[in-house]
Structure 1
Amino acid sequence: MSMLTPPGMGGKYRITGSRYPRMRRSKGRRRFLLGTAATAVVLALALVGWGVVQLVDVFTGSDTSRATAGRSSDQDCKASVPVADAEPLKLPDPAAITVNVYNATDRTGLAKDTAEQLEKRGFRIGAVDNAPEELDKKVKAPGLLLGTPKSERDGALAVLGAHLAKAETKTDRAREGDAAKSVDLVLGDGYRKLTAPAAAARALTALANPGPSASPCE
């Protein structure tokens, strides 16, 4: 009797010898495992390939994207209005502009001195006086230019403004009679002196000859 046979048990079939029978794996289970491994490899390779394509698109840009961007840019440029040099402006001569000079500061003689300088620069001088009560000591800028909308359109205020940098400009539709034919320069707390003649001349040249505006396609 083999030692593998339990005592007291007999029978027709007994296990003899010292070797155990070997258990063989099912062929169906082996095929299932092989199929699962193959599927995992295919998915991994697909993910790697997709990642490479994305990196190429990020760093180089796809041909389709570049072509679309080029067409969009071209269409924007074609749709834009052609840029041309602006026509020179006809500005009035200082001799055609009558300037009333008013002093809104507490500095004595400021209006008189400034009026004399403007007269030397070719302007016609009208009234020279202290500022009216509604403006006296209330102008903080170097100066306040006042005129009708027409004096703004025809350039009279711009020509006078070229001789006083950082002056404020306002129009008054209520100006009538002789007042409508002149412009006012109200000297404020920020006033120190008129713009140097050379700088004023450059400013007038720039006003008369505006350059072309930048093209959106440049």
Structure 2
Amino acid sequence: MSMLTPPGMGGKYRITGNAYPRMRRPRRRRRIVLAVVAAVAALGLGGWGTLQLIDVFTGGGKKITAKAGQAACKPRAAASTAPLPPKPAQITVNVYNATPRGGLAKATADELRKRGFTIGKVGNAPVEYDKKVPGTAILLGAAAANEGPFRVLATQLAGTQLRTDARRTADVDLILGTAFKSLTAKPASDKALATLATPPKPATTC
């Protein structure tokens, strides 16, 4: 019996030989250590990646500022600018009454004169329009009137119809219709006229 065999044991439990059995350390502790090291490395890489993303989206911590004396946004000239409308004194208006109400053309012409317009002819509407204008009024003039006189007169009364004819003169006819009551209140018409005469501001680019 070998000295390694405990007393009273034999058979298959008998230990033979003169060398002691090798005792191995459990592998569980090694696995825990490796798991901890891997977790620390993953956290470190994640934090570094987050810092890189922050630098990308914030420009690396550098601030972009405009140079001294240089505006951040520069005005850009408009591609096309509409010409400014004429002043009321530059527009000759013929006032015609197409309604059964007497004196309407004269009263309206007098008010337009007070507002700075130049008055031409005043009287009853021509036969083709007399008692045939159910709306507020008709503005009648040459095709060029669309670019200026019509826009200016439209600030003085709402709901007008715009029509052109073959005339070569710059005067404009104002034919009052059945629905006409009065001109737009002067404060409101003055405000609309001032807005119309203000040139648009150029667009800006940054």
**Smaller-chain TM-score bracket:** 0.5 to 0.7
Q: CA deviation at 1:99?
A: 1.8
Question: What letter corresponds to residue 109 of structure 2 in structure 1?
Answer: L
1:176 maps to what in 2? Answer: 166
The residue number in structure 2 matching 1:42 is 41
Partner of 2:129: 132
TM-score (norm 2): 0.58
Is residue 142 of structure 2 the alignment partner of residue 148 of structure 1? yes
Partner in structure 2 of residue 213 of structure 1: 201
Helix, strand or coil: the match of 1:123? strand
For these two proteins, the number of residue pairs brought into alignment is 187
**Gap change, CA 1:160 and 1:32, over 3 Å in 2:** closer
Task: State the distance in 1 between where 2:95 and 2:39 align.
Answer: 93
Structure 1 residues 100 and 215: alpha-carbon distance in aligned structure 2, compared to 1, 3 A threshold: same
Match of 1:18 in 2: none
Partners of 2:60 and 2:131 in 1: CA distance: 69
Aligned partner (choices 71, 92, 101) of residue 96 of structure 2: 101
After superposition, the Cα gap between the structure-2 partners of 1:212 and 1:64, relative to the gap in structure 1 and judged at 3 Å, is farther
Cα deviation for residue 145 of structure 1 reads: 2.2
- Inter-partner Cα distance in structure 2 for 1:176 and 1:53: 74
Alignment of structure 1 residues 84-95 onto 2, 5 Å: 90-91=86-87, 93=89
Question: Structure 1's 206 and 115: CA in aligned 2 closer, same or farther, altered over 3 A?
Answer: farther
Structure 2 distance, partners of 1:14, 1:181, is 131
- Give the distance between the partners of 1:63 and 1:46, measured in 2 at CA: 19
Q: Normalized per residue, which structure has more helix?
A: 1
Residue 32 of structure 1 deviates from its aligned partner by 6.0
Deviation of 1:193 after TM superposition, in Å, equals 1.1
User: Percent identity between the aligned chains?
Assistant: 20
Give unpaired runs (5+ residues) of structure 2.
none
Alignment of 1:23-42 (within 5 A): 23-25=23-25, 34-42=33-41
CA contact (8 A) 1:102 1:186 kept: yes
Number of the residue aligned with 1:80? 76
Aligned to 1:163: 156
Tell me how far 1:160 sits from its aligned partner.
2.6
Report the equivalent of 2:183: 194
Amino acid aligned to 1:158: R
Residue 132 of structure 1 and its aligned partner are, at CA, apart by 3.2
Structure 1 alignment gaps of length 5 or more: 16-20
Contact 1:144–1:185 (Cα < 8 Å) also in 2 = yes
Amino acid at match of 1:213: K
Aligned to 1:10: 11
Match of 1:216, SS state, is strand
For 2:143 and 2:36, how far apart are their aligned partners in 1? 87
Partner amino acid, structure 2, of 1:170: L
- Cα distance change of structure 1 residues 123 and 63 upon mapping to structure 2, 3 Å threshold: farther
Amino acid at match of 1:25: R
| 1:118 counterpart residue number | 109
Q: CA distance change for structure 1 residues 116 and 192 in 2, over 3 Å: closer, same or farther?
A: closer
Contact 1:102 1:184 (C-alpha < 8 Å) held by counterparts: no
Q: Any conservation in 1 of the 2:84–2:199 contact (CA below 8 Å)?
A: no
Asked if the contact 2:66–2:72 (Cα under 8 Å) also holds between the matched residues in 1, the reply is no
